[in-house]
Amino acid sequence: MKVVCIVQARISSTRFPGKVLKEICGKTVLEHDVDRLRRIKNVDEIVIATTTLEKDNVIVKECEKLKIKCFRGSEDDVLSRYYYAAKENSADVVVRVTSDCPLIDSEVTESIIQCYMENREKYDYLSNTIDRTYPRGLDTEVFSFCALEKAFNESTSQRDREHVTPYIWDNDNIFNIFQYKNKIDYSDLRWTLDTEEDFKLISIIYEQFEDRDYFGMNEIVKFLEKNPEVKEINKYIEQKKIDDSLFLIPAGEGHCDLIYEWVNEDEVRKNSFNNSEIPYEEHVNWYFKKLKDPDCFIYLLADSNKNIGIVRVEKKGNENVVSYSISKQFRGKGYGYKILEKLQDKLMKENKNIILTAYVKKENIYSVKIFEKLHYNLVENDDYNMKFEKNLSR
């Protein structure tokens, strides 16, 4: 039974760039992380999971210096980064911590792992993060590789792919989940590193215990009780929330049935040039063919917890034809405009200098207005259909 602790780390940070390599008392934050994790007796291996981006080469060099294993994977799909890191290192049990926790308590984490190991027949996932009683910054999640693999194979939303474990703890009807709690509630304490204020507080704590080989949660709590002004330093910092904004995510195999439901909705068929209902087998054959087609791009519009609609760009002859549809429950809320706007922004950001073409039935007044609002040019107009174009190279 191999227990692998995987630590996600990258140099980028919107609030505090380069934070994992900032120095505190002569050591980088990442080195403090590793020093503390190495004290945990029931962890067989520690792996730093960073990205394949060139700017994260500095993380790899730091790992070489610390003589710690490093795995490189996707920047945005952190779930896949975790999965492949765990798989490459033959993990049976995965311990998830993040590199912005330089005060993580090895004894607390060891106890959480031990609790999971003693109850692994009952629980798929165990943590101290959902129903908080520990200071933020001592976060530890423990779960089976099987649970991770299921999340990797089945989760499709941007939020789930970006944050690793939400799919698990959102689906307690699938996974058996347990929350590890402290006897005293310290959830009001913030010891994680995300801002300059956090860095100042953590630095003061380290300086206070600089002559000690190790100090943990209880010692820090006592210090803060005697020095309440230190605790005030980051008191008003709000934890960065899981992003609730809209995303475009590439369609995958797991979206096949969802898209089948969408394309056969009455309103979608009414506004399509082919009004007939699409048989399931025909849809499956078409969908998987399109996923492999280099001239076809399919994206879903999603927020933190739901998929909203689909947009497709497909090369047909000399044209790049764009089409979209919004799920019935989200129609009339402006998502048609948003999905096309997101697509436009994405293509321009990727420097795809192309002309988008859209064919719309004249009776589909809602879509006509959307393309007009997005400054598509009307190039053809007959009694039944309208053709719009937009040049993204301008």
**DSSP per-residue letters across 182-217:** -SS--TT-B---SSHHHHHHHHHHHHHTTT-S---H
Give the CA angle between residues 219, 220, 222 to the nearest 5°: 65
Which of 141-150, 167-176, 365-374 shows the lowest per-residue confidence on average (mean pLDDT)? 167-176
26: left (phi over 0), alpha (psi -120 to 50) or beta: left
Q: How many CA atoms lie within 13 A of 69 on its CB side?
A: 13
Quick check: 25 and 31 in contact, CB under 8 A? Answer: no
55-104 tens-digit pLDDT: 999 999 999 999 999 999 998 889 999 999 999 999 999 999 999 999 99
Partners of 46 in beta bridges: 5
Contacts of 32 (CB under 8 A, 6+ apart): 24, 102, 103, 206
DSSP state of 136: B
- Look at residue 119 in the predicted model and tell me its pLDDT: 96
- Domains 3-186 and 247-391 belong to one CATH topology: no
- Topology adopted by domain 247-391: Aminopeptidase (3.40.630)
| CA–CA separation, 50 and 56 (whole Å) | 7
**pLDDT tens-digit profile of 228-277?**
999 999 887 766 555 446 778 888 888 899 899 988 888 888 888 878 88
Measured at the alpha carbon of residue 8, what is the angle toward residues 156 and 105, in degrees to the nearest 5?
A: 125
Pick one of 3.30.450.20, 1.20.1600.10, 3.50.50.100, 3.90.550.10 as the CATH number of 3-186.
Answer: 3.90.550.10
**Which residues make Cβ contacts (< 8 Å) with residue 99, sequence separation at least 6?**
7, 8, 9, 20, 29, 30, 33, 48
Instruction: Assign 351 a pLDDT band (cuts: 50, 70, 90).
Output: low
Tokens of 381: 């107009």
Contact 115, 197 (CB under 8 A): no
Helix (H) or strand (E) holding 358: strand 355-361
Q: How far apart are CA 168 and CA 125, in angstroms?
A: 8
The CA distance from 96 to 140, in Å, is 6
Note the pTM of the prediction, 2 decimals: 0.64
pLDDT at 264: 87
| pLDDT higher than 60, residue 309 | yes
pLDDT band at 192 (very low <50, low <70, confident <90, very high): very high
Q: Which two tokens stand for residue 262?
A: 């969408």
Nearest-10 Cα torsion for 54, 55, 60, 62? 160
- pLDDT exceeds cutoff 90 at 354: no
- Tell me: pLDDT of 194 over 60: yes
Residue 122: what residue type? K
pLDDT score at 14: 61
Per-residue model confidence (pLDDT) at position 244: 46
| Nearest residue to 204 (alpha-carbon basis) of 24, 30, 1 | 24
pLDDT at 272: 85
For the chain, what percent of residues have pLDDT higher than 70?
96
pLDDT for position 305: 58
Range name among 63-67, 95-99, 138-142, 172-176 with the lowest pLDDT average: 172-176
Residue ranges in the chain assigned as alpha helix (H): 29-37, 57-66, 78-88, 106-118, 145-154, 158-163, 166-170, 196-208, 217-226, 228-231, 256-263, 266-271, 280-292, 335-349, 365-373
- Return the higher-pLDDT residue of 301 and 239: 301
pLDDT value at position 172?
77
Structure-token pair, residue 40: 């945990």
Q: What is the pLDDT of residue 394?
A: 52
Top pLDDT among 227 and 328 is at: 227
Query: Minimal CA–CA distance to 97: which of 41, 63, 135, 138?
Result: 138
* Cα-only R_g, the chain: 25
Structural domain spans, the chain: 3-186, 247-391
